[in-house]
Structure 1
Amino acid sequence: MNIGIDVDGVLLNTHKFMLKYGQRFFRKKPVEPSGYTIEEMFGVDGIPVLLFGMRWFLPYYCRKFPPYPNSAKVYKELKNSGNTIWQITARKFALQHSPLGRYSYNALKKWLSRNGFCYDRLLLCDEHRAAQEKLSFCLKHGIDIMMEDNPDTAMTLAGNGIKVLLFDAPYNRKAVSENLIRVKNWDEAERYLRDQNII
């Protein structure tokens, strides 16, 4: 099978990272704790967001933040079962043709490799067009199941007949579709994949 796997929010707990380090950096409580982006969560934009990225996102999150428990194990089981893994993500800055973009892209590839995520191909999407670009990728490459956390992307994919394992998070609780299978963690994802004889 062709398995699509997002990175942020699926392989690692992006929401937990933003809550913890956003409070430390902005020196305030989140205005919207269930927000999807740092802008929504802390009511900030522009230069403060860029500075947060330079202080915490690029040097720490992109390089050292740990993956979800059991994610690498299940990932390897998917690969060892003969599935093709398409790593499909809208990683911040990584599409920019600049030193910052190259840094983000290379940091992502090194983080995946260092943590044991051996994909067949890495596909990058624009953050602002992620839902439509991921849909295009999934249709073009025949993705059978996409592992995703973004509610807009998940609903777009599900609405176009693609099965989505939706990794539960405060910001995606309202997403519901017959093609969405909500999982709380990689243990639940593993049980579903075993039940479907995918691993």
Structure 2
Amino acid sequence: MKQLNICIDIDGTITDPYYYLDISNRYFNKNITPKQVTQYSLDKVYGVDEEEFDLFYKKHKFDLHENQAIRSDAKKILDKLAVDNNLYFVSARDNSMKLLTITYLQKNKIPYDALYLLGSHYKLEKAKELSCDFFIEDSYDNALYLADNGFKVVLLDTYYNRGHERDNIFRAQNWQEVWNIIEENALEKKVV
């Protein structure tokens, strides 16, 4: 029997959080660097309205997600976590991305037990349904909402989620720290 149910976001969590900069910079004729991405809403980062950014994303979403680099040590730690735990990918990607996402995970030999593409950043109900013990995330708003509802969240550090500390949110600088946090806190497992 597996010990923990671990929910994991994909974009910016197992992947490089700034993977989109090259394509976005060309499209919007900007030169945004990772250090300038200090908020999660990319329309605000690029100084465009939300509709314009949504048009860009719809046009380029497959190119953006097909060849994202994996974060350092993510695969190694996911392999270790998969031995004794259930790994559930829970992403805001929409269902049109399902085949690309499955292919991407297979190509990179990323272990997982199930994949859920919600088409929304609202992940609370899925976390409840999966009896999530830890949720690995990069969005502070998602982390905050999950933590406020009793879930332990490991927040992978980025420029756009800094400066926020909260109960039930554990900040990790890298995937080795994700492993350490889960190992240290697994004994206190509390299913919501």
Map of 2:77 onto structure 1: 74
Q: 1:48 to 1:182 in 2, by over 3 A?
A: closer
Q: After the TM superposition, which segments of 4 or more aligned residues of structure 1 sit over 6 Å from their partners?
A: none
Map of 2:51 onto structure 1: 46
Map of 1:155 onto structure 2: 144
How far did 1:19 drift? Answer: 3.0
How far did 1:29 drift? Answer: 3.7
Is 2:7–2:88's contact at 8 Å kept on the other side of the alignment? yes
Map of 2:62 onto structure 1: 58
Tell me the alpha carbon deviations over residues 85-138 of structure 1, each in whole angstroms, 9 at most, x when there is no partner. 1110101xx23xxxxx2xx221111101111112111112233xx23xx11111
Q: Which amino acid aligns with 2:25?
A: Q
Tell me the TM-score normalized by structure 1.
Answer: 0.81
Map of 2:190 onto structure 1: none
d(CA) in 2 for partners of 1:67, 1:41: 23
- Aligned mate of 2:163, from 163, 166, 174: 174
Map of 1:122 onto structure 2: 115
Map of 1:17 onto structure 2: 19
Tell me the TM-score normalized by structure 2.
Answer: 0.84
Equivalenced residue count is 181
Q: RMSD value over aligned CA atoms?
A: 2.2
Q: Which amino acid aligns with 2:66?
A: R
| Residue 37 in structure 1 maps to residue 30 in structure 2 | no
d(CA) in 1 for partners of 2:58, 2:168: 34
Q: 1:13 to 1:53 in 2, by over 3 A?
A: farther
Report % sequence identity. Answer: 27
